[in-house]
């Protein structure tokens, strides 16, 4: 999306199951807290699932076009990822 709000488009994650569906379902996944990298080439975000007793959230990164999805954390309790402070 451009600064003026035009050019909005959906980013489809490639090589990862799609997000959507109710979290009460084992197949439900929520992609949350997306943040652009400072150079605009990557996105960091969380994927939350439900294992039947608790929500599990891990951090992922992907290229701006949705390719190259990589899981960064595996602890299951990671929230609101960010790229950190610019120096």
Which pLDDT tens digit goes with each residue over 18-28? 788 776 677 77
- Closest by CA to 45, choosing from 64, 26, 27, is 64
The length of the chain in residues reads: 87
* Cβ contacts of 70 within 8 Å, gap of 6 or more: 60, 61, 62
Q: What is the pLDDT of residues 17-70, one digit of tens each?
A: 778 877 667 777 888 889 999 998 999 999 888 877 888 889 999 999 999 999
pTM for the predicted model, two decimal places: 0.80
The reported pLDDT for the residue numbered 87 is 57
> Do the Cβ atoms of 19 and 27 come closer than 8 Å?
no
CA distance 49 to 31: 9
For 41, the 3-state DSSP assignment is coil
């Amino acid at each position: 999306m451009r600064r003026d709000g035009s050019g909005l488009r959906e980013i489809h994650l490639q090589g990862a199951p799609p997000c959507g569906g109710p979290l009460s379902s084992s197949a439900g996944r929520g992609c949350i807290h997306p943040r652009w990298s400072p150079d605009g080439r990557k996105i960091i975000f969380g994927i939350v699932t439900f294992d039947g007793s608790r929500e599990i959230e891990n951090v992922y990164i992907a290229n701006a076009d949705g390719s190259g999805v990589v899981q960064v954390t595996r602890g299951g309790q990671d929230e609101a990822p960010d790229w950190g402070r610019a120096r």
